Amino acid sequence: MSPSYLAELMPRLLHPQVRDLAWVLMSPPLLSDTPAPQRHPLAASHWASHPDELADWLLSHDSQPSVLEAWLAQHSIRRLGLYYERLWQFALGQAPDVELLVANLPIRQAGHTLGELDLILHDAEGVHHIELAVKFYLGLETGDRRRHDHWLGPGSHDRLDIKLQRLCQHQLKLSSSPPAKALLAELTCGEIDSALWLGGYLFQPGTSGCEPPTGAHPLHLGGHWLRQCDWVNSTAEGATRWQPLHRQAWLAPAQLDGGQPWPAAEVERWIAEVNGKQARLMARLEMDTVGRWAERERLFVVPDSWPG
């Protein structure tokens, strides 16, 4: 999936959830070099070699989004990671040459839940167990930013190295455990390969930037972060504006169709509430050629005490 193709397609998509769906399917992963195999869930699909047909499918849902809306409404989705998984499940259920055998399969032993298998799918290359994750990591200001333990989640509890360790040492190995093998034997008799897919954004400190973590994808998506005390809104008026993003809007680039960005005074009040609360994400918007406000940059604003 070409990120440049996504950039060309995105302005044509208007529905927020369809835009998120396109982002999920076509955005690059955080890393190109991972400690365990990484595999795009659609790698063997006809869509992978014919992205124009994937684009047509997305555009059809953009013009008639009720099917996607109904699919997402079947379950309460509070976590962004679950929303990300549901979008993948929707696409894999309709993708040519791919059969989604099961999703979110719980693995239990002696009355205890050991975990869930995110995806079990079958395609021309075999049967695959794929663990999905979408993450937003901020690089520390000091130290060796190439190290995975120098990239933290906005709440400072999650770290890139910890997530990779859990994916590789627990989640991916779960499918080879005896209770998982017993369940999977009912679905397929073939050998099952395990792989991960890690999407998201990497945010560099301030405006000076830093080296990305070791193994970062050369086209990884990203932005910058700064502390609340360092915030200066130099774009309060004119053709560039800042727009706060609620958590469910963290995936696809922001775009306002017919709406107006927050007034500068409201943005300032929102920024003033950051200290003592969680980090917040915002987008710098510019007017595009057809008069829509479209994202040009992302910025996390974190409490002054971050990472605490």
Mean pLDDT check: name the lowest of 65-74, 214-223, 258-267, 298-307: 258-267
Residues 277, 182 share a domain: no
How many structural domains are present in the chain?
Answer: 2
Examine the fold and report which residue of 162, 193, 213 is the final residue of a domain before the chain moves on: 213
pLDDT of residue 239 exceeding 80: no
Q: Is residue 220 part of a domain?
A: no
User: With helix as H, strand as E and coil as C, how does the chain read?
Assistant: CCHHHHHHHHHHCCCHHHHHHHHHHHCCCCECCCCCCECCCCCCCHHHHCHHHHHHHHHHHHHCCHHHHHHHHCCCCCCHHHHHHHHHHHHHHHCCCCEEEEEEEEEEECCEEEEEEEEEEEECCEEEEEEEEEEEEEECCCCCCCCHHHEECCCCCCEHHHHHHHHHHHHCHHHHCHHHHHHHCCCCCCCEEEEEEEEEEEEEECCCCCCCCCCECCCCEEEEEEEHHHCCCCCCCCCEEEEEECHHHCCCCCEECCCCCCCHHHHHHHHHCCCCCCCEEEEEEEECCCCCEEEEEEEEEECCCCCC
Residues 88, 108 share a domain: yes
Q: Is residue 66 part of a domain?
A: yes
The more confidently predicted of residues 76 and 172 is: 172
pLDDT of residue 237 exceeding 60: no
Q: Is residue 196 part of a domain?
A: yes
Residues 256, 179 share a domain: no
Q: Is residue 70 part of a domain?
A: yes
Residues 163, 47 share a domain: yes
Residues 265, 188 share a domain: no
pLDDT (0 to 100) of residue 291:
85
Residues 192, 141 share a domain: yes
pLDDT (0 to 100) of residue 236:
53
pLDDT of residue 258 exceeding 80: no
Query: Does the global pTM surpass 0.85?
Result: yes
Supply the range of the domain harboring residue 240.
225-302
